[in-house]
Amino acid sequence: MTPSNSGYVSNRILKINVGFLLSDGPGHNHDTSFDAPRVRVADDLTVEYIRGPLRLSRTTEGILVQGTLEAGSEGECFRCLDPVTRNVTITIEELFSYPAQRGVEFSIQDDAILDLAPLLRAEIVIATGRDALCRPDCKGLCPECGTNWNHSTCSCNDQRIDPRLAGLKKFLE
């Protein structure tokens, strides 16, 4: 797998042809694994890597996908906006219905292609939805001038006190 000019591997690697498993019938399974570099899962999500084993099991309702994948999700620090790569482990256990049914979120169309991208996007977004910090002691940005206090200092807040807290200054004196 070689990255394209855009720097990531096509998300086509997240589409698995399961026609052989559908024709085998219920009770059959297939083990596979991912080990891919930078992949654009969706328009709003690119992962630095994705790896781990998957088991695809044929049931009477479709294909059950089970596995534990590790992914490196890129984002921004919630305090200073520096880039942050978070390593997340996601456990997947989802039934892709076959034949496709209305109202079912994950299904396999008549072309027998199982697209993992929507499921991975949902799981990674949920796993990375919590606060991300570039480091535990991140100092954040100056609310006045926007200086990143991790990299430099500013003199904006040396003498200024929030007017809502000015009355408390009397207690410090």
Which tops the pLDDT comparison, 26 or 160?
26
Please tell me the predicted confidence (pLDDT) of residue 52: 96
Interval 39-66 mean pLDDT: 92
For residue range 85-131, list pLDDT tens digits in order.
889 999 999 999 998 888 888 999 889 999 999 999 999 988 887 67
| Tokens linked to 79 | 């305090």
pLDDT above 70 as % of the chain: 92
Q: Which residues pair with 17 in a beta bridge?
A: 113
- Please state the domain extents for the chain: 11-135, 139-173
Burial 27-51 (b: 16+ CB within 10 A, else e): eeeeeeebebbbbbbeeebbbebbe
Please tell me the predicted confidence (pLDDT) of residue 127: 86
Please tell me the predicted confidence (pLDDT) of residue 160: 63
> How many other C-beta atoms lie within 10 A of the C-beta of residue 96?
23
pLDDT higher than 70, residue 4: no
